[in-house]
């Protein structure tokens, strides 16, 4: 994650044209002389957000001011926040990361229309005020937490009506990283990855972090950054990001690969045991040499960075997760898809398994 600096105003991507009106629009005729409520133009209506300013301006004024900036400006670190325990952990991780990397922090709260009963044609503007009050309460809490560590001018907040996953993915194209908790208020089973986290991790246009566990773990001297590598394009990008994160956090960097050649049972019965073992040992050495080669640039660019390489065996997802637990990793960085088991879906089976199993934050690179 490249280092950044400065405060960026929240761009206008979700502002004026998506702002919910304060009052319902005029009624329209259905062609038979009956009046009908107007349809909303589109989903994802932005509402006034709990402002991070202290100058007495209203939350609506604050939100409009924050969304009236340069449309090409970065959102910085975007964190989805709904007040749930998982979201609070994600917020804590995002705050510390924003402080370390000197990035702005954007708090995004979403209100799904599915939570409100509707009857025939429905105008979300009717519920704009109740939604606004609810959003202010949730975001005011988040802003107060964030501004204990960050400067108020570096904290921006926005609430929208729409799918949390869709809105987070939408803002990710101008974010440095998007952060979610493992589960939010919509969770059914605490043991599974929430639908929002899964969708954002699979579809985000920037690095996506899922914060898991009972407490937040940060990369640092006693919590290494673990980079999973398989020589795919996503893995190359993940390694570059992991190097930058480890250097910024002064954390050791562990680069690992899984020598997933299968067990001895996959070899023909007529092969000798020695021949099979020699072949597997040769492949193991080859993978180890690849790791040494790909980390050489990082060693030269960061001479003081402690770098360790390891070749693991077994199922890739299980092996990576087990390694992260054993070394008490502070962050796992991996590509969304790679060779072999990584292919087939937007979020590969290996990365999905790792996000499920490790107790530390996982960053997925697309």
Please state, in angstroms and rounded to a whole number, the distance separating the CA atoms of residues 246 and 363: 13
* Other CB atoms within 10 Å distance of the CB of residue 129: 14
Residue 176 has what pLDDT?
95
> Do 232 and 143 fall into the same domain?
no
CA-angle at 157, arms to 55 and 90, nearest 5°: 130
Rounded distance between C-alpha atoms, residue 97 and residue 91, angstroms: 10
- On whether residue 218 sits in a domain, the answer given is no
DSSP state of 287: H
| Helix or strand (DSSP H, E) at 89 | helix 85-101
The percentage of the chain sitting over the pLDDT mark of 70, rounded to a whole number, equals 64
User: What is residue 261's predicted lDDT score, i.e. its pLDDT?
Assistant: 59
The answer to whether residue 172 is domain-embedded is yes
Kindly state whether residues 307 and 198 are assigned to the same domain: no
Pair 175, 260 in one domain = no
Q: Which of 211, 246, 263 is the last residue of a domain?
A: 211
What tens digit of pLDDT does each residue of 259-307 get?
A: 865 544 555 554 555 566 777 777 778 888 889 988 998 999 999 999 9
Domain contains 6: no
Residue 125's domain is classified under what CATH number?
3.40.50.620
Do 164 and 141 lie in one domain? The reply is yes
pLDDT at 76 over 50: yes
Secondary structure E strands in the chain: 28-29, 35-36, 45-47, 76-80, 105-111, 155-161, 175-181, 208-211, 225-228, 253-258, 307-312, 331-335, 362-365
Is residue 253 in a domain? yes
- Which pLDDT value is given to residue 159? 86
* Mean pLDDT along residues 163-173: 92
| pLDDT score at 122 | 59
In a domain, 216, yes or no: no
End residue of a domain, out of 180, 211, 242: 211
Sign of CA dihedral 73, 74, 80, 82: negative
Q: Which domain, by its residues, includes 273?
A: 225-365
| Domain termination site, one of 172, 187, 211 | 211
Question: 358 with 327, same domain?
Answer: yes
Phi, psi of 13 (to 5 degrees): -60, -25
Assessment of whether the complete model's pTM goes beyond 0.85:
no
Number of domains in the chain: 2
Residue 5 lies in a domain: no
Which of 163, 237, 151 is closest to 198 using CA atoms?
163
Distances (CA, A) of 321 to 169, 296, 306, 331: 26, 25, 21, 11
Closest CA to 214 of 362, 330, 89: 89
Measure the CA–CA gap between 106 and 157, rounded to whole angstroms.
6
Provide, rounded to the nearest whole percent, the portion of the chain with pLDDT above 90: 43
């Amino acid at each position: 994650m490249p280092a950044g600096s400065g405060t960026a105003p929240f761009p206008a991507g979700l502002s004026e044209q998506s702002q919910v009106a304060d009052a319902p629009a005029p009624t329209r005729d259905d062609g038979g002389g009956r009046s009908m409520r107007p349809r909303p133009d589109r989903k994802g209506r932005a509402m006034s957000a709990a402002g991070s300013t202290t100058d007495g301006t209203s939350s609506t004024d604050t939100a409009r001011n924050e969304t009236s900036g340069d449309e090409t400006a970065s959102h910085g670190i975007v964190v989805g926040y709904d007040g749930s325990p998982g979201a609070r952990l994600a917020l804590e991780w995002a705050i510390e990361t924003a402080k370390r990397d000197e990035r702005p922090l954007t708090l995004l709260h979403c209100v799904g229309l599915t939570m409100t009963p509707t009857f025939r044609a429905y105008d979300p503007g009717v519920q704009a005020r109740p939604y606004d009050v609810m959003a202010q309460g949730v975001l005011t809490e988040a802003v107060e937490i964030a501004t204990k560590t960050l400067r108020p001018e570096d904290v921006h907040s926005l609430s929208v009506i729409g799918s949390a996953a869709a809105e987070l993915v939408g803002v990710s194209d101008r974010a440095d990283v998007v952060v979610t908790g493992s589960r939010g208020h919509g969770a059914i089973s605490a043991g599974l990855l929430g639908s929002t986290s899964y969708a954002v991790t699979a579809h985000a246009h920037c690095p996506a972090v899922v914060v898991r566990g009972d407490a937040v773990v940060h990369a640092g001297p006693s919590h290494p950054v673990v980079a999973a590598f398989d020589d795919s394009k996503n893995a190359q990008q993940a390694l570059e990001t992991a190097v930058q994160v480890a250097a910024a956090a002064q954390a050791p960097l562990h680069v690992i690969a899984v020598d997933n050649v299968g067990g001895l049972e996959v070899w023909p019965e007529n092969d000798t045991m020695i021949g099979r073992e020699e072949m597997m040992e040769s492949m193991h050495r080859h993978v180890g040499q690849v790791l040494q080669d790909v980390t050489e640039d990082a060693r030269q660019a960061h001479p003081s960075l402690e770098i360790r390489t390891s070749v693991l065996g077994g199922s890739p997802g299980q092996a990576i997760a087990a390694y992260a637990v054993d070394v008490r990793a502070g962050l796992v960085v991996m590509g969304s898809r790679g060779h072999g088991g990584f292919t087939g879906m937007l979020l590969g089976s290996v990365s999905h398994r790792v996000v499920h199993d490790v107790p530390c934050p996982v960053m997925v690179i697309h």
